[in-house]
Structure 1
Amino acid sequence: MIAAENLPRFRSWFLFPFIVILLMLPIAHLQAQEPSDSGSGIAKRVPWTTSKIKGTPDPALPYETERAFPNLKFNQPLAIATAPGQKRFFVAERKGKIFSFPYEDQSVSQTDLFFDLKERVKDLNEIYGITFHPQFEKQPFVYICYVLKPGLPAGTRVSRFKVMDTNPPRCDPDSEEILIEWLSGGHNGGCLRFGPDGYLYISTGDGGPASPPDIHNAGQDVSNLLSCVLRIDVDHPGKELPYSIPSDNPFVNQPGARPEIWAFGFRNPWKMCFHPENGDLWVGDVGWELWELVFRVEKGGNYGWSIREGRQPVKPELKPGPTPILPPTIEHSHREARSITGGYFYQNPRLKELKDTYIYGDYSTGKLWGLRYADKRVNWHQELANSTLKVTAFALDDTGEVYIVDIEGGAFHRLVPIKESDHNPKFPTLLSQTGLFESTKTHQVAPGVIPYSINAPAWADYATAERFVALPGDSSVEVVKKQEWKFPKDSVLMKTISLETERGNPQSTRRLETQLLHFNGARWLGYSYRWNEEQTDAELVSREGDNLKLEISSQVNPQEKVSSDWHIPSRAECAVCHTPFQNHLSVLSFEAAQLNRNQKYGDMVDNQIRALAHIKVLPESVWNEAKASKTLTLANPHNASVDVKLRARSYLHANCRHCHRNNGGGGSTIELGASFDRAGMKAVGVKPTQGTFGITEARIISPGDPFRSVLLYRISKLGKGRMPYSGSSMVDVKATQLIREWIERMQTSSDDSSFTVLRLRNYQRNLLADSVQIEDQEFVSQKIQGILGTTSGALLLLDALDQRPMSEQMKDQIIQLGTQDQSPLVSDLFERFIPEDQRVKRLGLKIDEGTLLSIQGDAREGKKLFFEMAGLQCRNCHRVHQYGKELGPDLTQIGKKLSRAELLENIIQPSKKIDEKYYTHVIETQSGKVYTGLLVKKEDGGITIRDSKNELLQIPQNEIESMVVQKKSIMPEQLFRDLTAEQAAHLLAYLESLK
């Protein structure tokens, strides 16, 4: 309940049960009879046999990557080369060492040091490129591009060295001959390739940093060597240079132009290759803000930088170079790529279907693509694999096999056909095709699809739901352990969500979506179907999800409509809480605590668990437990006849337990399931770890003192840190009253600071009691502002608005002052009184990255957000200099490592690309306990992990039942959801400044 920013916000049944009107649902195709001691209200079950839900609707990518040369590992490999006649790869590591190994043997386990350039060049910063002379046997030369420190006029250098006649080969360190130099900077290019014409081609960058763009305005300036592909003759020295200029270079006779230039207008051309048959030159160019680019390079070609980034204007005022700007051959949006790496053409017969395919990739996303080019156009282009690799280079052997090189893992990889795919091209795209309905028009389910209802529906902005379960044939749910149920393969749980478009008028109810959970035998997969306007059928939404625009009115004034957004979750969003690790935790509402209630079957009423056990949906043991009162039973949170404690715990169970549990994703290690006692909740009397929101002596739950309880504050507010985080965007006012009453009835806390709250209570009582007699409104306003001066006081006034009688004038004054308060800690509480279309515009789930990146942020404001913003507080997991904690990566120099766009991507999609050492480890012990954290140490005696509270947990080996590694970041999803665009820009500006 506490780390709201850690909980993805989706209106998704996959994440929690929705609020439901407890309808007396007749069960189709089930025969009713009088219940008896031995029987049930259901006589028999008709098997469900018409399921069409098989596999997944999303096409699988055709390839995945596998480790090549599994016994070898390098330290940041950056460039790979082969020497003609030598069946070896030469691997240049970033910091100066070059190793070689024979590539014909996949089991090779030893490398040979070819050259340690750092020993010779003490000021070496990085090696960027390596290649060997095409006539290596006659001219045993190696060419190396390396960089000294940035900002030197001659800081990037291409040198030639002799290779000694040794086995294995070694470089002569004293043979260096410097051929050509240019300005060093962030973008140096540095790729070296000999063309089929025997000339050496060299790529150069614009010599500038990631941002601002092209600080030297070099892209269109052919008077220097920056932003180019150069072409020189290394076999024939000139009169003044150790190389000569080929006579057919395009700018040999251009006044003021450097004759070495073959093409220009690149930002940072990263890896080049030549087509093995027609000799075409292909270059991958790292983009700036919006696009990543691949060029088929022509003689004298101008590729636009920095007038353009692909087709996007950047500096249109710049004077263009001497030739027209050419369009990119391929461009990738920053939604799928961030730093392109050029590759090679595949020729090996191992993957015949990739013959003559140009394979390239992206450093940031790990995606790999292939294209084929003929007749002056790309006639085939496809994503091949979605890897987790940091692709900085490719390697090509003499058989035409292409290898992918991962700088972080230090290993070689190659493409292999995907071993198994669940893709089903006939997956039903209409709800009527799923086999779950006899008639979608009347919402009549098919034989064997069984309705069920639950005790504690959750808050979902007034939405209601009908729920169904379908098990294949006559199969049953099995009880593996207590509270752990195993469903048969191809089971389906289904829910149709509806909403009154005129609140209070059931006749205005409209079906919005039907959501399915399908169990494929290994894990639960979620799908959503959007209902059409005619309410006759629903269509499968794409994997990215969908959004509905609704017009909502009230019975009081049906003509006055308010716009409202309804988010249909993406399939990835469904998987956030429906974890594949423990499938019994994926099913949230179909559990004994929710099902143990009476249900109407035809003309009869029976206990739902007994009925489901009678027809073999549930095993008899579940009913026996319930019958013996051994089953926890939840209550409707708003049934006033039930004890307030049970109602409050049921509310938290339904709304919060799915994330605030072991392995649930919540940042606070609290347990909000109803089965935990007061101590087991780890929340009562406990200090919050994710921010106090300005509450003095705050506790997650402060017994007897709701106005010092962060839990109450979070469910009462809008904006950053609100709860429930998933599935709603409106405050459940009835729930705030319930939770307040529950906390207030707890045994009172002995904290002295409760005096502050008592004093505020007296202010409130006096204010409300005296307000009728007081005519001096300025005096009343001052008293209100005095109470609003603290978060606890604001909560008190909000509670008074909801529950205490007061004049309309007083209400208006409190709301006006509350919504206009300068502190968002206060104004967020009163924002719900403002019409939705007039509220603060927050980023929400769909973030326009291009627009956000164009906003100039203030690093000083971003620093305040980073360290101080309640509900965000990045310092709880990250360290900057000596401040913060070390649970996640140290961010002291993050601005040097990642661009602004990469920072944004890492925040929006923290699990898309994560370092292996930050993978989440989930350990289940033999006693059934589950621990989640980062692996710190693994020894024969056990393991040590660091949990989300940054505490070390030691688990003995003999207690470990299983350990699963999830490629999921501990960083919460959707951190920017409730920030304004300006706040997000400030935070990005601060992170970008950390260099």
Structure 2
Amino acid sequence: MSAPENKNRLDVWFLFSAVLACFVIQVTAIHAEDSRFGLEKRVPWTTSRVKGTPDPALPYETERAFPQLKFNQPLAIATAPGEKRFFVAERKGKIFSFHYEDQQRSEADLFLDLKLKEPGLNEIYGITFHPRFAENRYVYICYVLKPELPEGTRVSRFKVLDTDPPRCDPDSEEILIDWLSGGHNGGCLRFGPDGYLYISTGDGGPASPPDIHNAGQDVSNLLSCILRIDVDHAGKEKPYSIPADNPFVNQQNVRPEIWAFGFRNPWKMCFHPENGDLWVGDVGWELWELVYRVEKGGNYGWSIREGMQPVKPGLKPGPTPILPPTVAHSHREARSITGGYFYQSPRLKELNDTYIYGDYSTGKLWGLRYSDKRVNWHEELANSTLKVTAFAVDDTGEVYIVDIEGGGFHRLVPIKESEHNPEFPTLLSQTGLFQDTAKHEVAPGVIPYSINAPAWADYATAERFVALPDETTIDVVKKKIWNFPKDSVLVKTISIETERGNPASAYRLETQLMHFNGARWLGYSYRWNEDQTDATLVPASGDQIKLAIATGEPAEKTISYEWPIPSRAECAVCHTPYQNYLSILSFEEPQLNRSQKYGATVDHQLRSLAHIKVLPESVWTDSKGANANYLVDPYDTGEALNSRARSYLHTNCRHCHRSNGGGGATIELGATLDIDAMKVMGVKPTQGTFGIHDAQVIAPSDPYRSVLLYRMSKLGKGRMPYSGSSCVDTRGTRLVRDWIESLPGISGDSTFEVSRLRNRQGQLLSDAVQIEDQEFVSQKIQEVLGTTSGGLMILRSLDDTPISDQMRRLMIQLGTEHPSAQIRDLFERFLPEEQRVKRLGVKIDSAALVSIPGDSREGKKLFFEMAGLQCRNCHRVHQHGKELGPDLTQIGKKLSRQELLENIIEPSRKIDEKYFTCVVVLRSGKVISGLLLKKDETVVRLKDAKNEVQEIAPTEIESLTMQKKSIMPDQLLRDLTAEQAAHLLAYLESLK
């Protein structure tokens, strides 16, 4: 056989062999697809010993009242004088009634279907009956048409027919008063003990941006108010008249109907059944939920402020001074407050005269008692799973809680079976989740999982596990909602490299557990010991771990770093009971749709989880379709830029920036949304522009006008992500910047300023290479740093552009020494840790601060000379200073160092009665507050916050109240360093 023939035959043989090999590989792959799984079967798991809660039990829980009745989104409840009935207004227009003495009532009677009468109706918000209902048969209803109608929110009067059961005559409607409809309409109706109708109104705007109409302080319209009108006597032009003693009658450019103003969305109000005090729950915006005991002519601050937080400080205030809230709840524990009623029933005698109110988002219920012009008792009563939209009260004084989601009535009962578990595991090794805690080996049945897009956590990494009770499966509803079985547990152990870049130096910080108790997810953290053998349960208030991290960078070889372990309340901020399928954040299809290593086997994670019945098979089959739902690793440059950036925002930002997520801005950053649905492109920011010219949340094609990028790039106040990180993610900022730059610009959008700066920066870098004149280069850099956008450009040069060490040092120096904090915050990360300003902030470690030795001489300088502290303006020491507050000459004799600190941090917590704030409302409507110096038949003398004495004739005074509130501001130490605060304490301690 010739050589060519041999070659041809060999070629044919090799071709055949290759085809055969491909066939064998394909068959093997198909076989693997059909039968080889990373996990062959579900290993039974002994349910974790993480049961109940380690925290002391609350005194009450809720039980269902009228268990056979269910309504469709009940929003307002009323009773009619002489009728032992509840009238229940459903959101979409129907009103029902039923006898409340019959707990086994199975059917309610239709009172009115207002939607039939008014097809344009969107919602019913309020209902109340005339005090003389038995005589006139009048009912008053507040309902809302579509948003943004000038007369879209109405209060109408109807006649009730004399039938049994009672029915409302829809044709008897008489519209009494109306105002602009919007997201915040208020709409609560109550008759006061004076016989007048009180009406709450909101600011007419959406959740965000705040107060789009600037209505809060504008008393020329009816928005953001409590109104008070006389419905028994018609006016000349209106079907009602104005009571002569309303606070703003005859004042120019003020609506005379207004009783009080400055509310955002006053949601439910009531009168104290004995003294007639008016109480209102006001839904907050970004940080606070508020409860007010409303005073005549009172200004409650919106939208100059939300509680004590400035919102629009430049807004022109209304005609009276701003009053503080009676109670303020942080968004760490409440998100949408609902005002309630005073409890008077003999059933729970210990709650007599307690104002009971709750929160729609968290389900928490509180009680307070108010007397002698102060709140003298305030406690959390129950932690329910209810979506509290209303309360009801019957003629015995029994208070009912109304749940919009379940559509039922509930009431408080002493807790029968406490969730408190005195044997709750205090060590991770006691939880039953690990078979070898020191080696971090989980118990059988605890299944590892991984995710596509881990969140940025200051260089920390995580290992994740899931465990379900044996023979249970996650139930998937509508391909979106994942309902976990009771006693499911999710586990995350967080580690950090103490030598950055060296995996062998990984140090376990904490293991976080999420336990599903059948109603909500509860979070706990265990802190690892230094030997890395076990971890200890962290207190409910959280903890901090001090670390020394070797970075390998010449400028700072080792940095000091504090890892914050969140409080249990902080866990609930992200892992909310609202929208259960989002509460667990990372255990979702877009994150799990990937491969996972199980021992020596690598397999598709969703397939394995479905095979062992953690997930239903449908999740795996759906994930293989053309519209597969998945995220990508944001740092994988092999993936598309858009997918990486959207995945980054999804995992780092979406838990707050989504519906009911708690973020102050109503943007949506989930990766599955269309880009327009994100509500960020070309949108003006609501939380400030940070000095950026023509700022937008995201300015497509222009990262330097994009507030989102700025807030990711900075340190200090306003940094994002808000929680979970305190270091800038330079790879993440580069990714988001490049993505924004790749987006097509919006037609007609102005980019002149940034284009000019960009050209200037390009010229600067060109000149810097060729010119050695440092003074010239310094001048050019300072010119670019004249704007925040320019600062972002210089930051890009430092991160991405090859420049000389000399140029780099110069840029950092000019950035960190810049007079504008908005610029300095961008460059602070380049400073060694010891050179950064360490301010105390709002979360002060009292024990650590007290232990710092201070210099009393330095403290004296701070007391008398520091402009931001202003102690001398209120306190006298040895004939120096002023006498608004207590004389401190011998304060060191009276209080210990710890007590001094406590009084500064919480000035109203322990306060002598003579330093209570006196609030005087004049008959003119003006409000004056200060310290009460004298009160007799001839004069009331006050000293105000400016240390000026005000003398008022008693005949001018409408009301005078004493509030247990110090004039001394809260968070006085926030902007001091720990050393400065220690000096101040040392000085005060020396005053003996």
TM-score, normalised via structure 1 length: 0.50
Residues 361, 486 of structure 1: alpha-carbon distance in 2 compared, 3 angstrom cutoff: closer
Does structure 2 conserve the Cα–Cα contact (< 8 Å) formed by 1:453 and 1:595? yes
Does structure 2 conserve the Cα–Cα contact (< 8 Å) formed by 1:515 and 1:527? yes
Does structure 2 conserve the Cα–Cα contact (< 8 Å) formed by 1:61 and 1:383? no
Residues 414, 708 of structure 1: alpha-carbon distance in 2 compared, 3 angstrom cutoff: closer
Whole-angstrom CA distance in 1 between matches of 2:484 and 2:470: 13
Residues 540, 596 of structure 1: alpha-carbon distance in 2 compared, 3 angstrom cutoff: same
Match of 1:427 among 424, 427, 432: 424
SS in 2 for 1:37: helix
- The amino acid of 1:835's aligned partner reads P
Where does 1:316-465 land on structure 2 (aligned, <5 Å)? Answer: 385=381, 417-465=414-462
SS in 2 for 1:503: coil
Whole-angstrom CA distance in 2 between matches of 1:713 and 1:693: 8
Deviation for aligned residue 1:562? 2.1
**Does residue 1:686 correspond to 2:683, yes or no?**
yes
Deviation for aligned residue 1:735? 0.8
Residues 769, 384 of structure 1: alpha-carbon distance in 2 compared, 3 angstrom cutoff: closer
Deviation for aligned residue 1:417? 2.2
- Post-superposition Cα deviations, 1:660-719, rounded to whole Å, max 9, x if no partner, equal 111111122211111011111111122222222221222211111111111111111111
Match of 2:638 among 617, 631, 641: 641
Whole-angstrom CA distance in 2 between matches of 1:500 and 1:976: 35
- Post-superposition Cα deviations, 1:539-566, rounded to whole Å, max 9, x if no partner, equal 1111111111112222457995322111
Deviation for aligned residue 1:898? 9.8
Does structure 2 conserve the Cα–Cα contact (< 8 Å) formed by 1:455 and 1:596? yes
- Post-superposition Cα deviations, 1:263-287, rounded to whole Å, max 9, x if no partner, equal xxxxxxxxxxxxxxxxxxxxxxxxx
Aligned position for 1:482: 479
Match of 2:799 among 796, 802, 814: 802
- Post-superposition Cα deviations, 1:183-214, rounded to whole Å, max 9, x if no partner, equal xxxxxxxx9xxxxxxxxxxxxxxxxxxxxxxx
Whole-angstrom CA distance in 2 between matches of 1:767 and 1:487: 58
Residues 895, 670 of structure 1: alpha-carbon distance in 2 compared, 3 angstrom cutoff: farther
Match of 1:821 among 798, 811, 818: 818
Where does 1:96-107 land on structure 2 (aligned, <5 Å)? Answer: none
Deviation for aligned residue 1:746? 1.2
Whole-angstrom CA distance in 2 between matches of 1:443 and 1:459: 23
Whole-angstrom CA distance in 1 between matches of 2:579 and 2:351: 41
Match of 1:36 among 33, 36, 45: 33
Residues 749, 368 of structure 1: alpha-carbon distance in 2 compared, 3 angstrom cutoff: closer
Deviation for aligned residue 1:818? 0.8
Whole-angstrom CA distance in 1 between matches of 2:537 and 2:925: 40
Percent of aligned pairs sharing the same letter: 60
**Does residue 1:837 correspond to 2:812, yes or no?**
no
Does structure 2 conserve the Cα–Cα contact (< 8 Å) formed by 1:359 and 1:369? no
Aligned position for 1:586: 583
Aligned position for 2:975: 980
Aligned position for 2:696: 699
**Does residue 1:730 correspond to 2:727, yes or no?**
yes
SS in 1 for 2:769: coil
Aligned length: 569
Deviation for aligned residue 1:640? 0.8
**Does residue 1:576 correspond to 2:573, yes or no?**
yes
SS in 2 for 1:611: helix
SS in 2 for 1:467: strand
SS in 1 for 2:675: coil
Ranked by relative contact order (alpha carbons within 8 Å, sequence separation 6 or more), the top structure is 1
- Post-superposition Cα deviations, 1:433-492, rounded to whole Å, max 9, x if no partner, equal 111110111100000000000111110000000000000002111111122111111111
Whole-angstrom CA distance in 1 between matches of 2:645 and 2:652: 11
Aligned position for 1:789: 786
Does structure 1 conserve the Cα–Cα contact (< 8 Å) formed by 2:429 and 2:534? yes
- The amino acid of 2:595's aligned partner reads N
SS in 1 for 2:526: strand
- Post-superposition Cα deviations, 1:830-852, rounded to whole Å, max 9, x if no partner, equal 11112233323344451479999
Does structure 2 conserve the Cα–Cα contact (< 8 Å) formed by 1:63 and 1:384? no
- The amino acid of 2:55's aligned partner reads D
Whole-angstrom CA distance in 2 between matches of 1:663 and 1:387: 19
**Bigger fraction of residues in helix:** 2
Does structure 2 conserve the Cα–Cα contact (< 8 Å) formed by 1:692 and 1:710? yes
Does structure 2 conserve the Cα–Cα contact (< 8 Å) formed by 1:65 and 1:385? no
**Does residue 1:652 correspond to 2:665, yes or no?**
no
Deviation for aligned residue 1:899? 9.6
Does structure 1 conserve the Cα–Cα contact (< 8 Å) formed by 2:462 and 2:494? yes
- Structure 1, unaligned runs of 5 or more: 1-32, 74-112, 119-190, 192-288, 293-334, 336-345, 371-380, 389-400, 405-412, 860-892, 901-974, 986-995
Aligned position for 1:628: 625
Whole-angstrom CA distance in 2 between matches of 1:786 and 1:821: 11
Deviation for aligned residue 1:752? 5.5
Deviation for aligned residue 1:363? 12
Deviation for aligned residue 1:418? 2.8
CA RMSD, 1 decimal: 5.3
Does structure 2 conserve the Cα–Cα contact (< 8 Å) formed by 1:706 and 1:712? yes
Deviation for aligned residue 1:416? 5.5
Whole-angstrom CA distance in 2 between matches of 1:729 and 1:546: 16
- Post-superposition Cα deviations, 1:227-255, rounded to whole Å, max 9, x if no partner, equal xxxxxxxxxxxxxxxxxxxxxxxxxxxxx
Whole-angstrom CA distance in 2 between matches of 1:530 and 1:613: 33
SS in 1 for 2:645: helix
**Does residue 1:759 correspond to 2:760, yes or no?**
no
Match of 2:43 among 46, 60, 66: 46
Where does 1:44-123 land on structure 2 (aligned, <5 Å)? Answer: 44-63=41-60
- The amino acid of 1:440's aligned partner reads T
**Does residue 1:739 correspond to 2:716, yes or no?**
no
Residues 791, 601 of structure 1: alpha-carbon distance in 2 compared, 3 angstrom cutoff: same
Does structure 2 conserve the Cα–Cα contact (< 8 Å) formed by 1:56 and 1:427? yes
Whole-angstrom CA distance in 2 between matches of 1:777 and 1:894: 63
Residues 363, 857 of structure 1: alpha-carbon distance in 2 compared, 3 angstrom cutoff: farther
Aligned position for 1:511: 508
Deviation for aligned residue 1:590? 0.7
SS in 1 for 2:509: strand
Whole-angstrom CA distance in 2 between matches of 1:402 and 1:677: 51
- The amino acid of 2:975's aligned partner reads T
Does structure 1 conserve the Cα–Cα contact (< 8 Å) formed by 2:59 and 2:382? no
- The amino acid of 2:703's aligned partner reads P
Does structure 2 conserve the Cα–Cα contact (< 8 Å) formed by 1:705 and 1:743? yes
- Post-superposition Cα deviations, 1:331-390, rounded to whole Å, max 9, x if no partner, equal xxxx9xxxxxxxxxx9x9x88xx9xx99999999998899xxxxxxxxxx99895799xx
Where does 1:268-307 land on structure 2 (aligned, <5 Å)? Answer: none
Whole-angstrom CA distance in 2 between matches of 1:387 and 1:484: 23
Aligned position for 2:392: none
Does structure 2 conserve the Cα–Cα contact (< 8 Å) formed by 1:505 and 1:555? no
Match of 2:491 among 491, 494, 499: 494
SS in 2 for 1:561: strand
Does structure 2 conserve the Cα–Cα contact (< 8 Å) formed by 1:845 and 1:977? no
SS in 2 for 1:36: helix
Match of 1:715 among 712, 715, 721: 712
Match of 2:661 among 637, 644, 664: 664
- Structure 2, unaligned runs of 5 or more: 1-29, 66-77, 82-190, 197-274, 276-323, 328-332, 334-343, 359-364, 370-376, 385-395, 400-409, 850-862, 874-923, 932-969, 981-992
- Post-superposition Cα deviations, 1:888-922, rounded to whole Å, max 9, x if no partner, equal xxxxx99979999xxxxxxxxxxxxxxxxxxxxxx
Whole-angstrom CA distance in 2 between matches of 1:446 and 1:899: 63
Does structure 1 conserve the Cα–Cα contact (< 8 Å) formed by 2:356 and 2:368? no
- Post-superposition Cα deviations, 1:9-40, rounded to whole Å, max 9, x if no partner, equal xxxxxxxxxxxxxxxxxxxxxxxx98332442
Does structure 1 conserve the Cα–Cα contact (< 8 Å) formed by 2:475 and 2:483? yes
Does structure 1 conserve the Cα–Cα contact (< 8 Å) formed by 2:555 and 2:832? no
Where does 1:940-955 land on structure 2 (aligned, <5 Å)? Answer: none
SS in 1 for 2:39: coil
Residues 979, 761 of structure 1: alpha-carbon distance in 2 compared, 3 angstrom cutoff: farther
SS in 1 for 2:722: coil
